[in-house]
Structure 1
């Protein structure tokens, strides 16, 4: 279970304090899916970054399965069981998709396991395993590969920042089924 208590995030812009996230509290029970929607600039990506430890909260508490992870950095939050998929997935020139999947899984993956991960996100696996994770991939392909990396390892909780970005509606409905499965 994830518990978020009185989470706030402020920045200073032009000498003015701007509160981006203001005293937000919510719980996400085991097996529950929470979707946060809102307008551009509404704080959705900021919330995801705060939960993962990419940005430091100004105040509040984040508790995962009874453990206070508020002071944990991104690495320790990942080790505690949080998974994350960025809004804009990073690209790694010279790294193959297969290698990226293995790194994200934390161990060796067979070709069959790698292919299943890619197939689960709507990619024809054999066409992608040896491709580089670089600018030759479209935004939608990158998004799917990143979601596959999140699926490659069990997590207590996965955070997906705009998982639909660059993905057609039919494919996204298939991905929703995968999100529900985890």
Structure 2
């Protein structure tokens, strides 16, 4: 279980004033739940996700994962506890092949070629075209994004965090991605937290968290929150979209 209590993150503005990016955020995510975090751009969604992973150190509050206080732990320590994170813009690794990256993620030098190909297929990549390629500048942003998601699947983490996983991928790959999320959730072996504006991803969620102005504006089961999102979109809110980029 993930427990976030009174989380705050403040930065100093140009005039020396304190700006609240996260303001007293409290959230509990039960085991094996699929939670989508959505809301307007600049509302604090990505900052919240990064504080859970340890990429951003909060200025107040606490984060507990499965009974362990991880507030002051570094990224490596959190990863060892079974937390994974997918970036909006994943890094590239010149000289490192896709199959090697998947093996590192899986923690096994014995990851077979067939196993590696299965992970790539789940994210909409033709496995045999990518398994031996380097994760370098020859790959598009969308390709690197899908390879990163494949590495998270290979890690089989207990908590998987994805920051706008649909960004930069085509419609066919987006369909494969939603199928993969659905399959992971159906097995009930991991907790999923996904930041997304996509209707098809939001509709997969057990719970929806709407964040704006650094605060949780709404939080509840999909059946309760999703109709409100649709109503807001109809009324003119632009933070939700229907298809992949």
| Common topology (TM > 0.5) | yes
SS in 2 for 1:36: strand
Which residue number corresponds to residue 147 of structure 2?
145
Which structure has the bigger radius of gyration?
2
Which residue number corresponds to residue 6 of structure 2?
6
| Aligned residues between the structures | 182
Q: 1:119 aligns with which of 121, 127, 145?
A: 121
**Structure 2 counterparts to residues 103-114 of structure 1, below 5 A:** 103-108=104-109, 109-114=111-116
Cα contact 2:125–2:173 (8 A) shared by 1: no
**Structure 2 counterparts to residues 66-81 of structure 1, below 5 A:** 66-81=67-82
RMSD, matched Cα: 1.1
SS in 1 for 2:77: helix
| Cα distance in structure 1, aligned partners of 2:66 and 2:118 | 29
SS in 2 for 1:93: strand
Structure 2: gaps (5+ residues): 185-245
The alpha carbon displacement at 1:181 in A equals 2.6
| Cα distance in structure 2, aligned partners of 1:11 and 1:176 | 35
Q: 1:162 aligns with which of 142, 149, 164?
A: 164
CA deviations over 1:68-101 (Å, ceiling 9, x no partner): 1111111111111101111100011111111111
Under a length normalisation based on structure 2, what TM-score does the superposition of the two structures give? Answer: 0.72
Which residue number corresponds to residue 61 of structure 2?
60
The alpha carbon displacement at 1:40 in A equals 2.0
Which residue number corresponds to residue 180 of structure 1?
182
Higher RCO (C-alpha 8 Å, min separation 6): 2
The alpha carbon displacement at 1:105 in A equals 1.2
The alpha carbon displacement at 1:170 in A equals 3.9
